[in-house]
Amino acid sequence: MTALILLGIESSCDDTAAAIVRDNTVLSSVVYGQTSLHADFGGVVPEIAARAHAEKLDHCIEEALAASGIGLSELDGIAVTAGPGLIGGVLSGLMCAKGLAAATGLPLIGVNHLAGHALTPRLTDQVPYPYLMLLVSGGHCQFLIVRGFDDFARIGGTIDDAPGEAFDKTARILGLSQPGGPAIEAAAKSGDTKRFKLPRPLLNQDGCDMSFSGLKTAMLRARDAVVAEYGGLRPQDQSDLAAGFQAAVSDILAEKSRRALLLYLAENPQQPTLAVAGGVAANQTIRQALLQVCAKLETEFLAPPLALCTDNAAMIAYAGIEHLQHGLTSDMTLSARPRWPLDQSAAPMLGSGKKGAKA
Ligand code: KG4
Ligand code: ZN
């Protein structure tokens, strides 16, 4: 098969990203974050995000092309996130991609953002289908059996908050900086995981569904109790609370991953692989816990490099390549979808995340 070179465009949340990918090689990947734009608001403001995407996208694409040494005329197509996500941001990317496709005559390929994350282990490690995927980010948390580039079975997920959302809210509760994940991980290093008794919701219930909102409420109560006793949060209190929280999330993800793996392995014993993606997969405690689960079940554990775990456009370009290899392209009627579950047959999950629609 001849090599395919695609431009990927991602703008579904608070990262403006463009990348050039040739088959399994990332030639360039540029991400403009928006953390500082939203810092005063305690969460991503959709209108601010959409405007910033619209302002930055063409610079981002120019930079990705320049860094790759590839000219527009050498591309085989343009892949763009068409959902799920914040509608204004998705529209910004879509309009940009359509404009470029119309001007160049290149094929346009609408990609599901979650498919981008879910196919990343194929970009980085060329994993054959099928494999089990745990997607854990600021807006999503689900177990997917990935059977093909457009064939996903969701076997569990969060019924309320996504873990990243819980990390971010807990960091706010503890007076730590945003994004909360790295701040909590750093604070937890010198903390005692056992000082606070924190719940592990749904841990002993059957199945692979998870819940994180009760844990967040427990963090609020634990903090208030410390403040009432000592008149404020001392650094050691912050560390102990952070360590307790991180241990609880890690326990939940590890136990539910063990169950998801058992379900998956019962059907697919020939291909024992668990892959992770999403920002929370950057957490070393969580990675170690998942690694141990996999070791016990003689399963390969794959965690893509951090830059490809968090939101990026290389994963969108790569998913686009697999679409194009199957002759699947979109036309100019391609529309933005705020909600777009990967597994259309699975029952919808409850709730809606801070960082856009759950799917
Ligand atoms: O995948 P991502 O970049 O964006 C989407 O949500 O799509 O994930 C961002 C989330 C944030 O909630 C952030 O706090 C969390 O990932 N995160 C972490 C860590 N690094 C980022 N959570 C736990 N530990 C980390 N080291
Ligand atoms: Zn994402």
Q: What is the pLDDT of residues 216-246, one digit of tens each?
A: 999 999 999 999 999 999 999 999 999 999 9
Nearest residue (CA) to ligand 1, atom 3: 310
pLDDT over threshold 80, residue 264: yes
Residues whose CB falls within 8 Å of the CB of residue 99, separated by 6 or more in sequence, listed in order: none
Average pLDDT over residues 80-105: 95
Residue type, 271: Q
**Quick one: pLDDT band at residue 348, thresholds 50, 70, 90?**
low
Q: What's the CA gap between 39 and 123, in Å, rounded?
A: 33
**Quick one: pLDDT band at residue 352, thresholds 50, 70, 90?**
very low
- The pLDDT value recorded for residue 356 is 42
- The pLDDT value recorded for residue 211 is 95
Q: What's the CA gap between 206 and 204, in Å, rounded?
A: 7
For residue range 107-147, list pLDDT tens digits in order. 999 999 999 999 999 999 999 999 999 999 888 899 999 99
C-alpha of 40 from chain center: 23
Say which range, 54-58, 120-124, 164-168, 343-347, has the weakest mean pLDDT. 343-347
pLDDT over threshold 50, residue 358: no
DSSP character at residue 344: T
Nearest residue (CA) to ligand 1, atom 18: 181
- The pLDDT value recorded for residue 349 is 63
Q: Is the peptide bond before 46 cis (omega within 30 degrees of 0)?
A: no
Ligand nearest to the CA of 83: 2
Cα separation of the two ends of the chain: 34
* CA–centroid distance, residue 97 to ligand 1 (Å): 26
Probe residue for ligand 1, chosen from 32, 286, 310, 311 as the CB with the greatest number of ligand atoms within 8 Å? 310
Query: What SS3 state is found at 257?
Result: helix
**Quick one: pLDDT band at residue 77, thresholds 50, 70, 90?**
very high
Probe residue for ligand 1, chosen from 142, 158, 167, 215 as the CB with the greatest number of ligand atoms within 8 Å? 167
Taking alpha carbons only, the member of 98, 58, 53 closest to residue 78 is 98
pLDDT over threshold 90, residue 44: no
- The pLDDT value recorded for residue 129 is 97
Atom of ligand 1 nearest to the CA of 179: 14
For residue range 288-335, list pLDDT tens digits in order. 999 999 999 999 999 999 999 989 999 999 999 999 999 999 999 999
- The pLDDT value recorded for residue 42 is 73
Q: What residues line ligand 1, using a CB cutoff of 6 Å? A: 13, 137-139, 164, 167-168, 179-182, 185, 278-280, 282-283, 310-311, 355
Share of the chain above pLDDT 70, in %: 96
Q: What does the block give as tokens for 241?
A: 């609370």
* CA–centroid distance, residue 42 to ligand 1 (Å): 15
- The pLDDT value recorded for residue 33 is 85
pLDDT over threshold 80, residue 354: no
- The pLDDT value recorded for residue 197 is 94
* CA–centroid distance, residue 280 to ligand 1 (Å): 4
- Counting Cα atoms < 13 Å in the Cβ hemisphere of 197 gives 0
Q: What's the CA gap between 292 and 301, in Å, rounded?
A: 9
For residue range 172-196, list pLDDT tens digits in order. 999 998 889 999 999 999 999 999 9
Q: Are 208 and 250 in contact (CB under 8 A)?
A: no
Helix (H) or strand (E) holding 9: strand 5-10
Phi, psi of 7 (to 5 degrees): -90, 130
Nearest residue (CA) to ligand 1, atom 16: 279
* CA–centroid distance, residue 106 to ligand 1 (Å): 34
- The pLDDT value recorded for residue 346 is 79
Q: Are 23 and 326 in contact (CB under 8 A)?
A: no
Nearest residue (CA) to ligand 1, atom 8: 279
Say which range, 39-48, 51-60, 61-70, has the weakest mean pLDDT. 39-48
Q: What's the CA gap between 307 and 330, in Å, rounded?
A: 28
* CA–centroid distance, residue 164 to ligand 1 (Å): 5
Nearest residue (CA) to ligand 1, atom 6: 138
What average pLDDT does the structure give for the chain? Answer: 93
- The pLDDT value recorded for residue 22 is 98
Structural domains of the chain, with CATH:
5-120+310-357 (3.30.420.40), 129-307 (3.30.420.40)
Radius of gyration of the chain, Cα coordinates, nearest whole angstrom: 20
